[in-house]
Amino acid sequence: MTNASKLCFVLFLIFSLSACHDSSEISVSISNDEPTAEQAVEFVAVAEKNLSEVGQEAARISWVYSNFITEDTENLAAMARRKFTTIQVEMASQAARFKDVPNLDPDTKRKLGMLRSGITIPAPRDAAKTAEQSVIGTKLRGMYGKGEYCYADGECLDLGRLSDIIAESRDPDDLLEAWNGWREVSPPMKEMYSRQVELANEGASELGFSDLGTMWRSAYDMPPEDFPSELDRLWGEVKPLYDALHCHVRAKLGQQYGTDLVPPDGPIPAHLLGNMWAQDWSNIYPLVAPPETVSSYDLSAILKDKGFDAIDMVEAGEAFFSSLGFEELPDTFWERSLFVKPEDRDVVCHASAWDVDEKDDVRIKMCIKINAEDFNTVHHELGHNYYQRAYNQQSYLHRTSANDGFHEAVGDTIALSITPEYLQKIGYLENVPDASGDISLLMKRALEGIAFLPFGLLVDQWRWKVFAGEAGPTAYNDLWWELREKYQGVKAPNERPDDAFDPGAKYHVPGNTPYTRYFLARILQFQFHRSLCDISGNEGPVHRCSIYGSQPAGERLNAMLEMGRSKPWPEELEALTGQSTMDATAILDYFAPLKTWLDEQNQGRQCGW
């Protein structure tokens, strides 16, 4: 199973299993003699067939649970998760038997590796422990989905409404209450989370990995011990740009809120950056914007003025992919997706994309708000769906992305093409801003993409240390803030309570979704964009390029998407970009004019924290 390489779009897969399979039915009979290469091929085929069947049932159960969180659906989801994990672990253990068989063909060898290491949350083979782990995993997800904070006047707000306050309010007290309020959801998760870590580590160890972190790092077509230095290399390349943005933003926040609250030489309090996790700063654009140019525009306002609803937003996304030559989404996508938060029940609102039948029953699940941020997220989710449909001819283990960062990067690549020229072409904008508006445009993009980079990195830096046993439950929160300060230069706005479990207030921690993929995606999306712009014949600056309507770009993108995971990711990257390594120069070149502007602004300021 390739869960480690799949993503929140297939989080559901770890939830279920059809009741009609038990591990004896899916084993290939092997004698006690040394297994042969032929048996390995046969084993992989049977494992793929069964995991695929089971996965499809899994998808349906998890879909219902995520769209309708009740005691009963939670129970069903936990049962399904237990059965599915059991099969995954069984397949992984059997795969280990074949790994040193002589004369294995490279593809089978690679698939055996995927079976062995591709479980996002392995369980110990002890049935009671598997059951315990499944209940914990399901409960944690539900606790996050149902989370809300009740104000003294009795009004209770969910994450969406609390996030609106963080995005819009400029009153530090209101910001602080919303920020703290959401973090009351997670302390009850801490004990369960730590037990989950114990169990998953035991499962990883039974499969031959030192801990779950090593298992996660094994999914990148390179030795797991080399992966962290690859991340350090990329982070080292982009850090100067992040530091310049941080310095400017901190100075502007100091002007807005006063230097008592925002000291000019220290980390920025995390509640002032316009996002619940300070991972995307676009909502504070008005506070940090370059002096207004006549040519600036506000996409959120445009969408609202045009009277857009959630479906209009998704249709706009589909139209973009259609312009590249991708087939329209099937009717079932429109019938079965969740676009709007239901009033009458608890759902998991965190946006996700689903591939229920591994063919064309693709869907998104999202509580869409009419603003620019969600316009981007719609494109992000659709990127997953188009990828899923493109690789549906591949065999089961190859029906995922080249590495998990690729899956996250596709829709984000398309979102870079939402330029003023594009908005004018489709009738959203009357006049295209001249070049004097470029710094504004780049600032908006940087508040989203550059601000995200250290957060994208640190979530798993935290988890890897936790999985490695370097921090136990009493040290979880301190380690979290140590890393947030180290990488992001942000700090908790107040002393954290003893029972705080702030990592649990981020979806991917209770949801157990690996996070490094989003860091990789930020690097890759600019590499993809640069290449697709070249292919589309763009001659201007890359930040003004939109590949909208370019069939050659669409064909080249599709050629990579269709490959799924059939080749090591460097080969697939090369097929699209001509480069076989992840390369931060694309993102740095894209933002070069902004970097020059930021350096000018920062003259005389003390940067760093």
Contact residue for ligand X8Z among 1, 4, 7, 587 (CB under 6 A): 7
Touching ligand X8Z, residues 482-521 (CB under 6 A)? 518
Nearer to Zn ion, 428 or 515 (CB): 515
Give the span between the Cα atoms of 293 and 290, in whole angstroms: 8
Touching Zn ion, residues 74-93 (CB under 5 A)? none
Give the span between the Cα atoms of 560 and 30, in whole angstroms: 37
Q: Does 347 bind ligand X8Z (CB under 6 A)?
A: no
Burial 371-390 (b: 16+ CB within 10 A, else e): bbbbbbbbbbbbbbbbbbbb
* Closest among 584, 572, 271 to 457, alpha carbons compared: 584
Active site residue 508: yes
- Return the number of other C-beta atoms located less than 10 Å from residue 306's C-beta: 11
**Binds 377, which of ligand X8Z, Zn ion, none (CB < 5 to 8 A, cut-off by type)?**
ligand X8Z
Nearer to ligand X8Z, 138 or 377 (CB): 377
CB of 237 to Zn ion, least distance (A): 23
Give the span between the Cα atoms of 268 and 134, in whole angstroms: 38
CB of 7 to ligand X8Z, least distance (A): 5
CB of 65 to ligand X8Z, least distance (A): 17
- Return the number of other C-beta atoms located less than 10 Å from residue 431's C-beta: 10
Task: Select from 2-10, 79-87, 112-120, 330-338 the region that touches ligand X8Z (CB under 6 A).
Answer: 2-10
**Alpha helix ranges (H) inside 118-218:** 127-146, 159-168, 172-182, 190-206, 212-216
Nearer to ligand X8Z, 116 or 380 (CB): 380
Quick note: the x/- pattern for Zn ion over 395-434, rule CB under 5 A, is -------------x--------------------------
CB of 28 to ligand X8Z, least distance (A): 35
Contact residue for ligand X8Z among 56, 352, 388, 536 (CB under 6 A): 352
- Return the number of other C-beta atoms located less than 10 Å from residue 342's C-beta: 12
Which residue is catalytic, options 350, 379, 508, 529?
508
Contact residue for ligand X8Z among 108, 377, 419, 577 (CB under 6 A): 377
Active site residue 470: no
Give the span between the Cα atoms of 354 and 238, in whole angstroms: 32
**Binds 81, which of Zn ion, ligand X8Z, none (CB < 5 to 8 A, cut-off by type)?**
none
What would the two tokens of residue 129 be? 């422990």
Task: Select from 3-11, 37-45, 195-203, 221-229 the region that touches ligand X8Z (CB under 6 A).
Answer: 3-11
Q: Which residue is nearest to Zn ion (CB)?
A: 408
| Residue 75 identity (one-letter amino acid) | N
Total H helices, total E strands in the chain: 23, 6
Give the span between the Cα atoms of 10 and 362, in whole angstroms: 11
Which residue is catalytic, options 381, 408, 485, 572?
381
| Residue 235 identity (one-letter amino acid) | W
CB 408 within 8 A of CB 522: no
**Residues with catalytic annotation?**
381, 508
Positions touching ligand X8Z (CB under 6 A) are: 7-9, 351-352, 377, 380, 518
